[in-house]
Amino acid sequence: MNVLTIGIIGLLTGVIGIGLGGIIGILIKKTDFIFSLLLGLTGGFMMFIVTFHLLPEAFLLGKLPMVLIGVLIGILIIVALEKVIDNINAISYLKTGIILGLSIALHNFPEGLALGSSLIYEIELGKVITAAMLIHNIPEGISIAIPLSLNNISKVKIFLLTILAGVPMGIGSFIGAYIGSISNTFVSICLAIAGGIMLYITCDEIIPTGKALHKGRASSLGVIIGFLIGIILYY
């Protein structure tokens, strides 16, 4: 698989995943149960990918210090983005949607690096990570669309904004595939960065938010089902 093809795959993964989430966010009946279940599914699937794919492959290609540094970088990227969001006072629905879109676009770039470098390293691993990224992007698109729709932004504009948030994944995939074909160490660090990003987002945002949205078992069942989906897709 050549570098250009991988870049296109990364672009489609980001654009389709977040774009689909945007459509769902515009059209879906906004119930806490549905959002809680979707977040749980995403969290469980991401935990499977991090535990059984991203970090094990990172350890195979790089040494422990490099993997730990990569995970730390991934976590710091998300923490820094959260700090920017937290420091903005009196956020309107419109501003919330734009900020979420920007933060999602920014963290899609290192995820694209991991996607591209994994596809150039091992196609089967790349396929699993592509599926993980695609599913992971859907609730992100929803999170962008909802506050914008509450601010009466047109559906076309919302859809275009969600698509734009997925573009950096294509850019990251192209660069990741290009550099990853040269250095296994780079692939290891990219996988670890993506693992750190996914781990933090899952533990700090996705699962807690899912539990807070609905008092029932929707989120917990979603996590389990999402984890099982990961097993089925891989095996």
For 193-208, write each residue's pLDDT tens digit. Answer: 878 887 887 888 778 8
Tell me: pLDDT of 91 over 70.
no
Supply the DSSP symbol for 235: -
Q: Which of 207, 209, 193, 199 is nearest to 77 (CA)?
A: 193
- Residue 90, Ramachandran bin (φ over 0: left; ψ between -120 and 50: alpha; else beta): left
Residue with token string 């900020």: 99
Please tell me the predicted confidence (pLDDT) of residue 58. Answer: 84
Per-residue pLDDT tens over the stretch 62-79: 889 999 999 999 889 878
Please tell me the predicted confidence (pLDDT) of residue 122. Answer: 74
Please tell me the predicted confidence (pLDDT) of residue 98. Answer: 66
Q: Which residue has the higher pLDDT, 144 or 219?
A: 219
Please tell me the predicted confidence (pLDDT) of residue 40. Answer: 84
Per-residue pLDDT tens over the stretch 114-133: 788 778 777 777 787 788 78
Tell me: pLDDT of 150 over 70.
no
* Highest-pLDDT range among 40-44, 47-51, 63-67: 63-67
Q: How far is CA 51 from CA 34, 55, 182, 199, in A?
A: 26, 6, 26, 9
Q: In the chain, where are the structural domains located?
A: 3-228
- Residue 37 CA from chain centroid, whole number: 17
3-state secondary structure (DSSP) of residue 84: helix
Stretch 145-165: mean pLDDT = 81
For the chain, what is the radius of gyration of the CA atoms?
Answer: 17
Arithmetic mean of pLDDT over the chain: 80
Task: Tell me the two tokens of residue 103.
Answer: 């933060």
Stretch 186-193: mean pLDDT = 80
For residues 67 and 73, give the distance between their C-alpha atoms in angstroms, rounded to a whole number. Answer: 10
C-beta separation of 172 from 108 below 8 A: yes
Q: Which residue has the higher pLDDT, 170 or 81?
A: 170
Cβ neighbours of residue 72 closer than 8 Å, sequence gap 6 or more: 196
pTM for the complete prediction? 0.69
Per-residue pLDDT tens over the stretch 1-17: 788 888 899 999 999 99
CA 186-112-87 angle, to 5 degrees, is 105
C-beta separation of 43 from 222 below 8 A: yes
* Highest-pLDDT range among 31-45, 97-111, 167-181: 167-181
Please tell me the predicted confidence (pLDDT) of residue 224. Answer: 94
- Residue 2, Ramachandran bin (φ over 0: left; ψ between -120 and 50: alpha; else beta): beta
Please tell me the predicted confidence (pLDDT) of residue 32. Answer: 76
pLDDT tier, 171 (very low <50, low <70, confident <90, very high otherwise): very high
Please tell me the predicted confidence (pLDDT) of residue 100. Answer: 63
Please tell me the predicted confidence (pLDDT) of residue 16. Answer: 94
Supply the DSSP symbol for 54: I
- Angle 123-150/218-234 helices, nearest 10 degrees? 150
For residues 64 and 110, give the distance between their C-alpha atoms in angstroms, rounded to a whole number. Answer: 20
Per-residue pLDDT tens over the stretch 23-38: 988 887 667 787 788 7
Supply the DSSP symbol for 181: T
- The number of helix segments (H) and strand segments (E) in the chain equals 10, 0
